[in-house]
Structure 1
Amino acid sequence: MKTTILSLLALATALSVNAQDKWSVDKSHTSVNFSVSHLVITDIDGQFKRYEGSVVSPSSDFVGATVNFSVDVNSINTNNEGRDKHLMGDDFFNAEKFPKMVFKSVSFVKKNGNKYALTGDLTIRDITKRVTFDVNYGGTVKDAYGNTKAGFKATTVIDRIEYGLKWNALIETGGATVGKEVTITVNIELSKEK
Structure 2
Amino acid sequence: MRLLSIRPKPSHIYSSLTIPLLLVGTANSSQAASYAINPASTHIRFAIERFKSSATTGGFYNIKGQLQYDPSLQTSDISLIIPIDSLNTGNPSFNKSLTGPDFFDAKTFPLAQFKSTKWYFDQDRTNPQLIRVNGQLTLHGKTYPISLTATKFECDTNPSLKKEVCGGNFTATLDRTKWNINKFVWFGLTKNLNLNIKVEAARQ
- Give CA deviations for 1:45-101 in whole Å, capped at 9, x if unaligned: 1011222111112x2257331111110001110111111111111110111111111
| Counterpart secondary structure, 1:179 | coil
Unaligned runs of 5+ in 1: 1-5
The residue aligned with 2:163 is 147
When Rg is computed on C-alpha atoms for both structures, the one with the higher figure is: 2
The residue aligned with 2:131 is 116
The residue aligned with 1:130 is 145
Asked if residue 50 in structure 1 is aligned to residue 62 in structure 2, the reply is yes
Q: Which has the higher contact order (CA 8 A, sep 6+)?
A: 1
Identical columns (%): 18
| 1:191–1:169 distance in 2 versus 1, CA, 3 Å | closer
The residue aligned with 2:75 is 64
Asked if residue 36 in structure 1 is aligned to residue 48 in structure 2, the reply is yes
- Give CA deviations for 1:106-149 in whole Å, capped at 9, x if unaligned: 10111356342111111111111111000133321111142101
Residues of 2 paired with 1:115 and 1:166: CA distance? 33
Asked if residue 24 in structure 1 is aligned to residue 36 in structure 2, the reply is yes
| 1:115–1:84 distance in 2 versus 1, CA, 3 Å | same
Unaligned runs of 5+ in 2: 1-15
1:146 partner letter: K
TM-score (structure 2 length as normaliser) = 0.80
Contact 1:25 1:52 in 2 (8 A): yes
1:138 partner letter: F
Asked if residue 166 in structure 1 is aligned to residue 178 in structure 2, the reply is no
The residue aligned with 1:3 is none
TM-score (structure 1 length as normaliser) = 0.84
1:11: Cα distance to partner? 9.2
Contact 2:40 2:62 in 1 (8 A): no
Query: Aligned-residue CA RMSD in angstroms?
Result: 2.5
1:135 partner letter: A
| 1:16–1:124 distance in 2 versus 1, CA, 3 Å | closer
1:16: Cα distance to partner? 4.0
1:162: Cα distance to partner? 1.4
